[in-house]
């Protein structure tokens, strides 16, 4: 069927900020969809509040609205743009919910907008638990015994049919927020209450527990002629009980016979038909009882999803692209698979490798929260690895995670402990359970025992057992000295680094001084190397190369080599020769090429912003005529999309894996250089290894990057340039730290050197707090010193992004933070241009940034952080590489900042690019979003440690409106009336007065705790007093829980008051109240409430702003 001609413009709804459960996979999907729709000649209108997305690049859609994704705002966009249709299936749950609201409130009907991809009825049927269950009954598919509850009383009735343990899932929430597994009645009641609160419809589903059952997911695509195909089956290695997003998964399913698989295949298709998903991609999840194969449908998502992104990357089938084409009327047989160029879209990919996905977690950022996994998703990113067998795939994934693993690293706390302790550890669903399973094999547990405890399928367990067996053998015998044996081990996925560790162990020097000596040069080292084969990663690599054992590269072609495909999409594997030599399909070109190293799995502090930069580097360098080669292992990203680069290696970003790719690419053509500055810390860590191998690195030299990160070297530069830094010191022991702090004066900021995202940073006010930090948060030693900085209390912090080409320096943006210095820059809201700084201060920062760029000989991007206190500019930090702020700056000023930088790195001059306008007529505000709701127990307060997962941008003609939009986009619905609770630290009391005045004028009732109340009353303001928690009940938390409070301004300082006020923030979080923990943000909020209302907000496209 040809495409629809009754529509000519389509509104695509994005997913908004990156949050847990909704990450950059929706940028990947949405970008594909927009390209696909534009190819067909449709006018595409996009709404997405997330500036760090490729889809919101102004050249993607015809009209791009970086506006909050709320029904009110999207309705305004519809009214303005009058699209013929809305495609709600590309933006996750956010887009579906928004489209449903617009349908319910009549907006779509009023403006004659058709829903394409999935209609409201189908979405409802899939999302509403009761309707879904009835639909499944109708087609004879079994669901888990369950019931719906709207109250705790209902819930107890349902419990009678399900029994304990029971699974509680709130309706219409992201990634199962607020759900969980209850083992006893008290826990049951608590989770039900949380779930009811979390659900926008105050509804929870309570289900019989299928803990320990096998879990599968099917990715299905359907067209409007009812052609249905399965793109991929996915099997969870973690059995039921852990959210799919938090589970280790493999593709394809590995433990089903064809008969069982076909039952699931047919059932998935039946589900799509019954739910009425007319066109597009959906996933259907199943549980299978390992004892008898009983099949239960868990849920389906009538849209593209995280798993469809994974399935696309795993098979080479672009689901979102195809889904978009189907949504406008094409049928599967009319579409070709662009990736392979060989296969039609109407076919089921078959693969000849194993794909493993492992989620990455961030529990260390949320102290106080338990690291146990359940049905509510908690992971912040994922790694995908491809190998020709499960073992290779799994071990590649483990090292690709970048959590310090080289494979199945030992778990020291389970060594030489009782079996009971190991059993107990295995029974906990923690993020590192797979490592604990491997450890249990080392401790002589059997497959049967571990299967009994964990429910992991014996097939997977035996594979891990086999890996551990080889480790044991290596630990006895050292490295093999013959080609076949070395190749066999490499084919099982062992990294050179892991082999080195095991080899050293074989000579009995594991750990301690002996191991250190063994690794050094000298006679002992030589002797040990002779015995073990090698003692370091480098030596293992040398040995391996001497033996002629190299990886080969295979193509992902969606058809297992049945047809010739053009796919430039590759992974490495170790193959035995079949016809003389191992067959390699890499086929590098003769072109001039540039390799871009990506950022690996998303994590807090290194997310979509860096991928955005890598993608722009690919685009820009391709425009400049280079062949672009991307290396990355994050399946959620646009950088790993098939048409982002000329060649894609889906590989872990480790020294070993990257150097092998470089060997192949350098064998032909000319590698002009490697870009390591765009992917965050991940590729930077590889710079040294690349340099050692003589591989050219483009742009700013790694040495300059190191200089900027090295305290002592940097201090020298700062002195030379006569710039001012906060006082600082470096301490290699507790006493040195205390002495430095005393010299600088408290408060001081403490942090370990070389970190990203401010991990383990803390502001301390006194020596006892300093002791506490040193004892709990870090290991201080000669190898890992602690940095001590003067903390500029209440200073204004700024970010300046620049591009330099070695001659010219160009300022790309100056951002003023709203939160004071001390809050991590990634967690702070900021504005571009600055909203309250004088021109002189801004110019001074620009001057300093320019000097720094020259001094560091920057070629490419550089980010500088300043603090301004009492009209004095302090230099905080310089990063001569892409920073998190680049996409925001690009969107705010309307210039392709990252692209210009990439081309400058490849040798072009800044003068050749059009000038940037740094004083736009509009104001852009960036706000961070936080996953606190996912981590009960952790204090939801901002600090020097970064905790946000994503960001939104509010853009409007003035600050209050832009700020209001940024809050709305971040999910903070600012109240128009009600009660404001104020409790601020002494130094903020004077500062907060105007905000409180404003709120009183707006008709708010204001309550405050003792000190704040007295201070404000003395100023003649009408403030009521409320008890602090420690002052007896009823207190402020009671008031919050009872719904009496609508807004909170709560700033604290010092250890004790932070602890005291934690329950306030937790209660606010639970009630989803807007709360502000800094005075500056409170002031901005008061202004926004006074001057702006949702009804008056205007929407405007980026194209309009820039023109």
Partner 1 sequence: MALSAFSHAQPKGATGVIVFADGTCIWGKGFGASGSAVGEVCFNTSMTGYQEVMTDPSYDSQIVTFTFPHIGNVGANEEDVESRGLGAVGCIVRQDITPHSNFRASDEFVEWCKRHGKIGLAGVDTRALTRRIRVQGAPNAVIAHNPRGQFDLKALKKQAAEWSGLEGLDLVPSVTREDREDWGGGFWQLGKGYARASWEGKPHVVAIDYGAKDNIFRNLVKAGAKVTVVPARTGLDDILALEPDGVFLSNGPGDPAATGEYAVPVIKGLLDRDVPLFGICLGHQMLALAAGAKTAKMFQGHRGANHPVQRVGEGWGESTGLVEITSMNHGFAVDADTLPDNVEQTHVSLFDGTNCGISIRGKKAFGVQYHPEASPGPQDSFYLFEKFVGMLG
> What's the CA gap between 621 and 384, in Å, rounded?
26
The pattern of x and - marking residues 466 through 485 that bind partner 1 according to CB under 8 A reads ------------------x-
Interface stretch with partner 1, choices 248-256, 397-405, 920-928, 957-965 (CB under 8 A): 248-256
Is 256 a residue that touches partner 1 (CB under 8 A)? yes
Half-sphere exposure of 283 (CA within 13 A, CB side): 25
Is 575 a residue that touches partner 1 (CB under 8 A)? yes
Site for partner 1 in 282-311 (CB under 8 A): 290-295
Interface stretch with partner 1, choices 341-349, 401-409, 629-637, 1000-1008 (CB under 8 A): 341-349
Closest CA to 814 of 844, 836, 834: 834
Is 352 a residue that touches partner 1 (CB under 8 A)? yes
Long-range contacts, 690-694 (Cβ 8 Å, 24+): 690/658, 690/659, 690/662, 693/659, 693/662
Is 567 a residue that touches partner 1 (CB under 8 A)? no
> Which C-beta is closer to partner 1: that of 456 or that of 1049?
456
Interface stretch with partner 1, choices 254-262, 317-325, 694-702, 1052-1060 (CB under 8 A): 254-262
Q: How many CB atoms sit inside 10 A of residue 344's CB?
A: 12
> Which C-beta is closer to partner 1: that of 563 or that of 754?
563
> Which C-beta is closer to partner 1: that of 456 or that of 930?
456
Cβ of residue 552: shortest distance to partner 1, in angstroms?
9
Is 448 a residue that touches partner 1 (CB under 8 A)? no
Q: Which residues pair with 926 in a beta bridge?
A: 830, 953
Closest CA to 227 of 335, 77, 362, 351: 335
Structure tokens at 423: 């059993």
> What's the CA gap between 485 and 502, in Å, rounded?
15
Is 564 a residue that touches partner 1 (CB under 8 A)? yes
Chain Cα centroid distance, residue 233: 24
> What's the CA gap between 916 and 472, in Å, rounded?
60
Closest CA to 1054 of 760, 741, 737, 764: 764
Is 389 a residue that touches partner 1 (CB under 8 A)? yes
> Which C-beta is closer to partner 1: that of 256 or that of 1006?
256
Interface stretch with partner 1, choices 350-358, 622-630, 686-694, 1084-1092 (CB under 8 A): 350-358
DSSP 202-221: S-EEEEE--TT-EEEEEEEE
Cβ of residue 543: shortest distance to partner 1, in angstroms?
19
> Which C-beta is closer to partner 1: that of 262 or that of 719?
262
CB 993 within 8 A of CB 1019: yes
Interface stretch with partner 1, choices 224-232, 782-790, 963-971, 1008-1016 (CB under 8 A): 224-232
From 39, 79, 109, 226, residue interacting with partner 1 (rule: CB under 8 A):
226
> Which C-beta is closer to partner 1: that of 246 or that of 575?
575
From 130, 131, 202, 227, residue interacting with partner 1 (rule: CB under 8 A):
227
Place of tokens 């409170």: 1082
> Which C-beta is closer to partner 1: that of 384 or that of 760?
384
Interface stretch with partner 1, choices 12-20, 221-229, 613-621, 664-672 (CB under 8 A): 221-229
> Which C-beta is closer to partner 1: that of 334 or that of 772?
334
> Which C-beta is closer to partner 1: that of 84 or that of 235?
235
Chain Cα centroid distance, residue 335: 32
Is 356 a residue that touches partner 1 (CB under 8 A)? no
Is 463 a residue that touches partner 1 (CB under 8 A)? yes
The phi and psi torsions of 884 (rounded to 5 degrees) equal -60, -25
Cβ of residue 252: shortest distance to partner 1, in angstroms?
5
The pattern of x and - marking residues 309 through 338 that bind partner 1 according to CB under 8 A reads ----------------------xxx-----
- Residues written for the chain: 1107
Long-range contacts, 460-464 (Cβ 8 Å, 24+): 460/237, 460/254, 460/390, 461/437, 463/390, 463/391, 463/394, 464/394, 464/408, 464/434, 464/437, 464/438
> Which C-beta is closer to partner 1: that of 354 or that of 1046?
354
Is 150 a residue that touches partner 1 (CB under 8 A)? no
The phi and psi torsions of 621 (rounded to 5 degrees) equal -75, -30
Cβ of residue 488: shortest distance to partner 1, in angstroms?
9
Structure tokens at 107: 């907006």
From 351, 507, 849, 1023, residue interacting with partner 1 (rule: CB under 8 A):
351
The pattern of x and - marking residues 582 through 601 that bind partner 1 according to CB under 8 A reads xx------------------
From 83, 252, 605, 702, residue interacting with partner 1 (rule: CB under 8 A):
252
> Which C-beta is closer to partner 1: that of 137 or that of 583?
583
Is 449 a residue that touches partner 1 (CB under 8 A)? no
What three-state secondary structure class fits 428? coil
From 578, 779, 1096, 1107, residue interacting with partner 1 (rule: CB under 8 A):
578
Is 229 a residue that touches partner 1 (CB under 8 A)? yes
Is 139 a residue that touches partner 1 (CB under 8 A)? no
Is 511 a residue that touches partner 1 (CB under 8 A)? no
Is 576 a residue that touches partner 1 (CB under 8 A)? yes
Structure tokens at 729: 């010191």
Cis amide linkage into residue 747, ω under 30° from 0? yes
CB 673 within 8 A of CB 653: no
> What's the CA gap between 441 and 463, in Å, rounded?
11
> What's the CA gap between 236 and 245, in Å, rounded?
10
DSSP 781-826: SSSS-EEEEE--TTPEEEEEEEEEESS-EEEEEEEEEEEEBTB-TT
Is 4 a residue that touches partner 1 (CB under 8 A)? no
Is 270 a residue that touches partner 1 (CB under 8 A)? no
> Which C-beta is closer to partner 1: that of 174 or that of 210?
210
Cβ of residue 661: shortest distance to partner 1, in angstroms?
19
Is 527 a residue that touches partner 1 (CB under 8 A)? no
Size of the site for partner 1 (CB under 8 A): 66
Cβ of residue 293: shortest distance to partner 1, in angstroms?
5
> Which C-beta is closer to partner 1: that of 254 or that of 672?
254
> Which C-beta is closer to partner 1: that of 352 or that of 807?
352
Is 559 a residue that touches partner 1 (CB under 8 A)? yes
Burial (CB count <10 Å: 0-12, 13-18, 19+), residue 694: exposed
Cβ of residue 346: shortest distance to partner 1, in angstroms?
4
The phi and psi torsions of 608 (rounded to 5 degrees) equal -60, -30
> What's the CA gap between 316 and 306, in Å, rounded?
15
From 71, 458, 669, 806, residue interacting with partner 1 (rule: CB under 8 A):
458
Per-residue b/e over 60-95, b at no fewer than 16 CB within 10 Å? Answer: bbbbbbbbbbbbebbbbbbeebebbbbbbbbbbbbb
Any residues with CB less than 8 A from the CB of 503 and at least 6 apart, and which?
474, 478, 479, 532, 533, 534, 535, 540
Is 343 a residue that touches partner 1 (CB under 8 A)? yes
Number of H helices, E strands in the chain: 39, 38
Cβ of residue 481: shortest distance to partner 1, in angstroms?
13
Q: How many CB atoms sit inside 10 A of residue 695's CB?
A: 20
Closest CA to 944 of 736, 764, 776: 764
From 261, 746, 1055, 1106, residue interacting with partner 1 (rule: CB under 8 A):
261
Contact positions vs partner 1 (CB under 8 A): 1, 225-230, 252-263, 265-266, 290-295, 331-333, 343-344, 346-354, 388-390, 457-459, 462-463, 484, 554, 559-564, 575-583
């Amino acid at each position: 069927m040809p495409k629809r001609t009754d529509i000519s413009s389509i509104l695509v709804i994005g997913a908004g900020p990156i949050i847990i459960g909704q990450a950059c996979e929706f940028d990947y999907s949405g970008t594909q969809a927009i390209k696909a729709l534009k190819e067909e000649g449709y006018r595409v209108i996009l709404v997405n509040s997330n500036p760090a997305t490729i889809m919101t690049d102004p050249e993607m859609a015809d009209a791009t609205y970086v506006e909050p994704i709320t029904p009110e705002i999207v309705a305004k966009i519809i009214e303005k743009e009058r699209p013929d249709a809305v495609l709600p299936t590309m933006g996750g749950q956010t887009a579906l919910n928004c489209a449903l609201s617009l349908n319910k409130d009549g907006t779509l009907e009023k403006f004659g907008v058709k829903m394409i991809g999935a209609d409201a009825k189908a979405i409802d049927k899939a999302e509403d638990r009761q309707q879904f269950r009835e639909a499944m009954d109708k087609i004879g598919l079994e669901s888990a015994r369950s019931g719906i509850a709207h109250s705790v009383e209902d819930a107890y009735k349902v419990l009678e049919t399900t029994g304990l343990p029971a699974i509680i899932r709130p309706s219409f929430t992201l990634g199962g927020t607020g759900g969980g597994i209850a083992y006893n009645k008290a826990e049951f009641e608590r989770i039900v209450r949380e779930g009811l609160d979390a659900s926008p419809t105050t509804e929870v589903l309570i289900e019989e527990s299928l803990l320990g059952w096998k879990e599968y997911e099917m990715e299905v695509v359907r067209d409007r002629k009812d052609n249905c195909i399965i793109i991929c089956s996915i099997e969870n290695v973690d059995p039921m009980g852990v959210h799919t997003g938090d589970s280790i998964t493999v593709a394809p399913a590995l433990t089903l016979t064809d008969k069982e698989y076909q039952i699931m295949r047919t059932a998935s298709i039946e589900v799509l038909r019954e739910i009425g998903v007319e066109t597009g991609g959906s996933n259907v999840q199943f549980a299978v009882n390992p004892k008898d194969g009983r099949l239960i449908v868990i849920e389906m998502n009538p849209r593209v999803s995280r798993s469809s992104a994974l399935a696309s990357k795993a098979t080479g089938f672009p689901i979102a692209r195809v889904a978009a084409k189907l949504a406008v009327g094409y049928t599967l047989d009319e579409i070709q698979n662009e990736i392979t160029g060989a296969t039609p879209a109407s076919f089921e990919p078959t693969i000849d490798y194993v794909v493993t996905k492992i989620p990455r977690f961030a529990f260390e950022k949320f102290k106080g929260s338990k690291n146990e996994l359940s049905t509510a998703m908690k992971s912040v990113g994922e790694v995908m690895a491809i190998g020709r067998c499960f073992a290779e795939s799994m071990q590649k994934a483990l090292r690709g995670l970048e959590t310090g693993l080289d494979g199945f690293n030992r778990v020291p706390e389970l060594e030489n402990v009782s079996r009971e302790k190991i059993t107990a550890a295995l029974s906990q669903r923690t993020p590192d359970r797979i490592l604990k399973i491997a450890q249990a094999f080392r401790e002589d547990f059997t497959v049967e025992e571990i299967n009994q405890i964990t429910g992991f399928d014996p097939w997977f367990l035996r594979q891990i057992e086999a890996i551990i067996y080889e480790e044991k053998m290596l630990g006895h015998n050292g490295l093999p000295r013959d080609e076949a044996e070395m190749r066999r081990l490499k084919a099982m996925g062992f990294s050179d680094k892991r082999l080195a560790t095991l080899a050293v162990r074989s000579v009995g020097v594991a750990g301690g001084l002996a191991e250190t000596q063994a690794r050094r040069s000298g006679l002992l080292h030589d002797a040990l190397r002779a015995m073990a084969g090698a003692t370091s990663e480098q030596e293992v690599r040398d040995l391996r190369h001497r033996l002629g054992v190299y990886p080969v590269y295979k193509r992902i072609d969606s058809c297992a080599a049945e047809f010739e495909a053009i796919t430039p999409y590759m992974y490495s594997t170790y193959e035995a020769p079949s016809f003389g030599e191992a067959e390699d399909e890499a086929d590098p070109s003769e072109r001039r090429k540039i390799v871009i190293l990506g950022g690996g799995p998303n994590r807090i502090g290194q997310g979509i912003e860096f991928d955005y930069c890598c993608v722009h580097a690919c685009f820009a360098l391709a425009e400049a005529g280079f062949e672009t080669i991307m290396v990355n292992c994050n399946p959620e990203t646009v950088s790993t999309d098939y048409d982002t680069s000329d060649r894609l290696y889906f590989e872990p970003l480790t020294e070993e894996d990257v150097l092998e790719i470089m060997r192949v690419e350098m064998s032909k053509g000319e590698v002009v250089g490697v870009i390591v500055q765009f992917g965050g810390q991940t590729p930077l860590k590889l710079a040294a290894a690349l340099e050692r191998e003589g591989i050219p690195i483009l742009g700013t030299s790694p040495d300059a990057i190191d200089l900027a990160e090295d305290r002592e070297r940097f201090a020298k530069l700062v002195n030379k340039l006569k710039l001012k830094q906060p006082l600082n010191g470096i301490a290699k022991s507790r006493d040195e730290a205390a002495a430095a702090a005393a010299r600088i004066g408290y408060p001081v900021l403490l942090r370990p050197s070389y970190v990203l995202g401010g991990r383990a940073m803390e502001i301390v006010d006194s020596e006892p707090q300093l002791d506490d930090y040193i004892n709990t948060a870090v290991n201080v030693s000669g190898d890992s010193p602690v940095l001590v900085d003067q903390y500029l209390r209440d200073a204004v912090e700024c970010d300046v992004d620049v591009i330099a080409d070695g001659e010219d320096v160009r300022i790309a943006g100056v951002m003023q933070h709203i939160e004071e210095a001390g809050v991590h820059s990634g967690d702070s809201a900021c504005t571009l241009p600055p909203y309250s700084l004088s021109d002189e201060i801004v110019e001074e920062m620009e001057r300093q940034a320019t000097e720094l760029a020259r001094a560091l000989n920057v070629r490419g991007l550089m980010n500088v952080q300043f603090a301004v206190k009492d009209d004095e500019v302090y230099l905080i930090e310089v990063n001569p590489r892409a920073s998190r702020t680049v996409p925001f700056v690009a969107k705010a000023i309307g210039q392709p900042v990252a692209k210009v930088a990439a081309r400058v790195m490849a040798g072009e001059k800044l003068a050749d690019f059009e000038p940037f306008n740094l004083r736009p007529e509009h104001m852009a505000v960036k706000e961070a979003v936080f996953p606190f709701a996912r981590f009960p127990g952790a204090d939801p307060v901002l600090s020097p440690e970064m905790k946000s997962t994503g960001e939104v941008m509010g853009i409007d003609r003035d600050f209050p409106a832009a700020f209001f939009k940024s809050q709305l986009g971040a999910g903070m619905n600012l109240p128009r009336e009600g009660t404001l609770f104020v409790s601020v630290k002494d130094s903020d009391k004077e500062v907060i007065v105007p905000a409180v005045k404003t709120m009183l004028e707006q008709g708010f009732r204001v309550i405050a705790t003792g000190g704040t109340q007295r201070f404000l009353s003395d100023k003649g303001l009408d403030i009521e007093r409320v008890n602090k928690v420690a002052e007896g009940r009823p207190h402020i938390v009671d008031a919050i829980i009872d719904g009496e409070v609508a807004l909170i301004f709560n700033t604290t300082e010092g250890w004790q008051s932070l602890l005291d006020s934690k329950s306030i923030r937790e209660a606010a979080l639970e009630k989803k109240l807007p709360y502000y923990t800094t005075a500056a943000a409170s002031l901005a909020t008061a202004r926004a409430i006074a001057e702006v209302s949702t009804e008056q907000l205007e929407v405007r496209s980026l194209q309009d702003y820039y023109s």
